Amino acid sequence: MRFGVLGPLSVWTDDGTPVHVPEAKVRTLLAVLLTDPGRPVSADRLIDALWGDAPPRNPSGTLQARISQLRTVLDGAEPGARRLIALRPPGYALDVAPDAVDAGRFAALRARPAADPLARKR
């Protein structure tokens, strides 16, 4: 799967089919997980991003329900994609390479000339 965060949040399958993530809280959850692909985001940070100062009565359980919804959306678009959302203490991680996210590809392209001494002379 590929993800876009430069502009509106976007998701595509490997073959380029757009994936609709219908629920606003689930989109927010995905966006927060995409801020640092492959690295865990604490449950507390996710809860704060989703509900701020007005968390639900059972924030951990409600977060787990939203994680399940996100897994279902991803898996419905591309079988097996539910495994991309990993439980990793202290929270959850989106297990994708940085280049699966447009911001990661942009950062890599931007850094490439700086890392290549010949490119600086051009």
The residues spanned by each domain of the chain are 2-97
pTM of the model: 0.89
| Distances 77 to 2, 14, 40, 46, 51 between C-alpha atoms, Å | 12, 10, 23, 24, 27
Provide CB contacts within 8 A for 28, sequence distance 6+: 49, 50
Extract the residue ranges of the chain whose pLDDT is less than 50. none
- Measured distance CA(2)–CA(19) in Å, rounded: 10
pLDDT at 80 (0 to 100): 97
Architecture of the 2-97 domain: Orthogonal Bundle (1.10)
